[in-house]
Amino acid sequence: MYKVWIDAGHGGKDPGAVANGIQEKDIALKVSLGIKERLEEGYKDVQVLLSRSTDVFLELKDRTSKANAAGADILVSVHCNAGGGKGGFESFRYTSASQNSIKLQDALHRSIMAKLGGIDRGQKAQNLHMVREPKMPAVLTENLFVDMIADADRLNQASVINAIIDGHVQGIATYLGLIMKKKEDKPVTEQDVNVPSKWAEKTWKEVSEKGFFDGSRPGVSVTREELGAVVSRLLKYVERTG
């Protein structure tokens, strides 16, 4: 059983980068919860442990100490970026990283870029606590820029959050050599259509409160007619708010 430690950056009193109505801590948590859900549901012999599963503050040393004590096989710290020119995605390993950390970074970076697309800012090395202190291979990902309008618009799209989650999942699975569960291996539990997925809870609440959706049945598919109604509501909302 592989142990994967996912660290959602910032949290609680520390929002991380803030711009364009986005707080880094919220994106990091949403992505981290999604990674746990999809890795454990989709692959055999893997357990995902989280630094935080709610909006709480943790010191950096507490995050890495817990990961080390748990005997995690790898650590991935999830973040968003700010203040970097044209925006895009980049990843970090320690300046004196092990070969396994380099391999993990390569697998993650390639998979995330394949899913996410856009500007590739490259695989980098830096003396960051979250990649220096873990006893296991460790990588930190910077998933788009909250202070770049184009990137912020993307981070508000469920499809982009899905791409970031899927890129992390695929990269981790590739590095560890995880085996996908067959259909018969997966528990026969269908999503309750009346309850949003953990990673989508905040977004669903926001779009429901703004009147784009009526708040019911978040787990069902959308028809083209229903999508047309949502677009109509969105256009009216834009007209009202200027």
Query: 27 Cβ partners below 8 Å, 6+ apart?
Result: 80, 143, 146, 155, 161
Phi then psi for residue 229, to 5 deg, are -65, -40
Query: How is residue 152 written in tokens?
Result: 């912020």
CA nearest to 113, candidates 167, 32, 156: 167
Q: Which of 142, 201, 225, 239 is catalytic?
A: 142
Q: Are strands 89-93 and 120-125 parallel, antiparallel or unpaired?
A: parallel
Query: How is residue 87 written in tokens?
Result: 């925006």
C-alpha 233/C-alpha 236 separation (Å) is 5
Is 142 annotated in the active site?
Answer: yes
Catalytic residues: 142
